[in-house]
Amino acid sequence: MATQRVHDVIVIGGGSAGYAAARTAREAGADVAIVDRGPLGGLCILRGCMPTKTILRSAEIAALMRRAPEFGLAPVDVRAALSAIVDRKERLVREFADYRIQQLRDPGYTLYEAPASFLSPHLLQVGNDLLTAKAFIIATGSVPRQDVIPDVTLEACVTSDTLLERRDQPESLIVLGAGPVGLEFAQFFARIGTAVTIVQRSAHVLSHLDADVGAAVGAALEEEGLSVMCGAQVRRVGIDGGKPVVRVSRQGTEQTLSGELVLNALGRVPDIAGLNLPAAGVRVDEGRVVVDGAMRTSQPHMFAVGDVTNLYDVVHIAIQQGELAGWNACHPEQAPKSFDDRLVTEVIFTDPQVAVVGLTEKACRRRGIPYLTGSYPFADHGKAMCLGATHGFVKLVAEPSTGALLGAQIVGPEAGELIHELIAVMYYRGTVHDLLRMPHYHPTLAEIVTYPAESIAEQLKA
């Protein structure tokens, strides 16, 4: 017979978003339960941010070592050992995961390690237990998407989840999709010696960003020897002669690509299978849990945060959402706190890196927001030239009457670090004039932001 247990707040999922929600609710004095079917640790630690950035570092070092003659150094014979790279990745991931598991098993929480399924809006089946609570927070994350191409099955593909565990280096790899995940894996394997082909339906890689961003990254990848096929529609993915094949149509012609592996990098979808959300009365639209600005679902006592909402697949945003939901769940009598998307930031760890904050030109046009823009290339920037890192540019988007920053895009060296100066200026609702008044040390990469700021300031004068 099932045991019924009562908590103030039940968080389903112990990843970055879920743990942030649980921690916030506990700090508000709630009796908090965390439900996680395992393995414990969350996507970021186990299969996302941390393992991918670990292996990318190995590839970055290999690529830089191969450039030794460019810097007046003796040539270096660089040979990658994928198994050793995976060993290093697993050591670090285990360390990160152990710390998260220690947090989840803190006696301040009740941890249930079993799948969860709603029986009603107020009753949750977890293993042999029936749980009820004043508030529920859904934070079950995401899984690789399988149904993105009509009439095409992707069973012959590997996913980013499984590719992270591979120890035998493939001779060739076909990557379906040129978003952040696809490009990071493509460049990693190319840099350790795999022949890589990227297949992208849109006209440029990173199609969700401005075209000049995608063009700059695509050109850098092709310069490294990757084959980048944009404007290509996948017609079939299967196995011929024991090897995966991909049939694509491009510019009116069809061709068949063959490789040792095919990576499905066509995105991820909310992981809600098995939750039985219809029984909970939670609205789902095209596979995502629908939430308002307070992270509240269609049920007033239920919230959803992180990838399960399919709004932003970015960890720091998932944490912010979790903290909002945790606070709102424990303060129903107060005006809810809402998520502010003005400073939404994304970093893509290709080389050159890509970093974006706020509005892009594409977003401004779509929303009918007037703007001014200024850009400046790293190829003409002193410190970047010294480093031999001249791909890309910095672009600022500003309000056309005051020069207030609306957004910024950086393609280039250390873009993920450089973007934080622009986040800070936008946080305080600063302008291009503020960027020009702030001292910037010379020679540094950071001083490049003053040049597009100066361009916009000149447009404002005109």
| Residue 437: its H or E element | helix 432-437
Angle, to 10 degrees, between the axis of helix 315-330 and the axis of helix 16-27?
30
pLDDT of residue 150 exceeding 70, the answer is no
Closest of 187, 209, 199, 205 to residue 148, by C-alpha: 199
Closest of 231, 319, 378 to residue 20, by C-alpha: 319
pLDDT of residue 362 exceeding 60, the answer is yes
Residue carrying structure tokens 């945790």: 326
| Residue 22 structure tokens | 């649980």
Angle, to 10 degrees, between the axis of helix 211-223 and the axis of helix 180-191?
20
pLDDT, tens digit, 9 for 90 and up, residues 404-425: 999 999 999 999 999 999 999 9
Q: Which residues pair with 199 in a beta bridge?
A: 176, 229
pLDDT of residue 154 exceeding 80, the answer is no
pLDDT, tens digit, 9 for 90 and up, residues 231-268: 999 998 888 888 889 999 998 899 999 999 999 999 89
**406 to 194, 342, 373, 396: CA distances (angstroms):** 40, 8, 10, 8
pLDDT of residue 1 exceeding 60, the answer is no
Pairing mode of beta strands 109-112, 32-35: parallel
| Residue 445 structure tokens | 């990469």
Question: What pLDDT, on the 0 to 100 scale, is given for residue 2?
Answer: 66
**125 to 5, 7, 52, 326: CA distances (angstroms):** 10, 14, 34, 21
pLDDT of residue 152 exceeding 80, the answer is no
Closest of 298, 340, 346, 310 to residue 323, by C-alpha: 340
- C-alpha 290/C-alpha 29 separation (Å) is 27
pLDDT of residue 153 exceeding 90, the answer is no
Question: What pLDDT, on the 0 to 100 scale, is given for residue 147?
Answer: 75
| Residue 9 structure tokens | 């707040």
What is the torsion angle, in degrees rounded to the nearest 10, for the CA atoms of residue 422, residue 428, residue 434 and residue 435? -10
Calculate the average pLDDT of the chain: 95
Structural domains in the chain, CATH included, are 3-144+269-330 (3.50.50.60), 158-266 (3.50.50.60), 342-457 (3.30.390.30)
| Residue 52 structure tokens | 């991918």
Angle, to 10 degrees, between the axis of helix 180-191 and the axis of helix 49-66?
40
pLDDT, tens digit, 9 for 90 and up, residues 161-183: 999 999 999 999 999 999 999 99
pLDDT of residue 430 exceeding 90, the answer is yes
Question: What pLDDT, on the 0 to 100 scale, is given for residue 59?
Answer: 97
Question: What pLDDT, on the 0 to 100 scale, is given for residue 311?
Answer: 83
pLDDT, tens digit, 9 for 90 and up, residues 432-443: 999 999 999 999
Q: What is the pTM of this model?
A: 0.94
Helix, strand, coil percentages (3-state) for the chain, rounded to 5, are 35, 25, 35
pLDDT, tens digit, 9 for 90 and up, residues 202-211: 999 999 999 9
The residues near 162 (Cβ < 8 Å, ≥ 6 apart) are none
- State the pLDDT confidence band at 142, using cuts at 50, 70 and 90: very high
- State the pLDDT confidence band at 40, using cuts at 50, 70 and 90: very high
| Residue 323 structure tokens | 């903290």
Say whether 159 sits in a helix, a strand or coil. Answer: strand
CB 412 within 8 A of CB 391: yes
Q: Tell me the CB-side half-sphere exposure of residue 65, using CA atoms within 13 A.
A: 13
| Residue 13 structure tokens | 């999922």
| Residue 222: its H or E element | helix 211-223
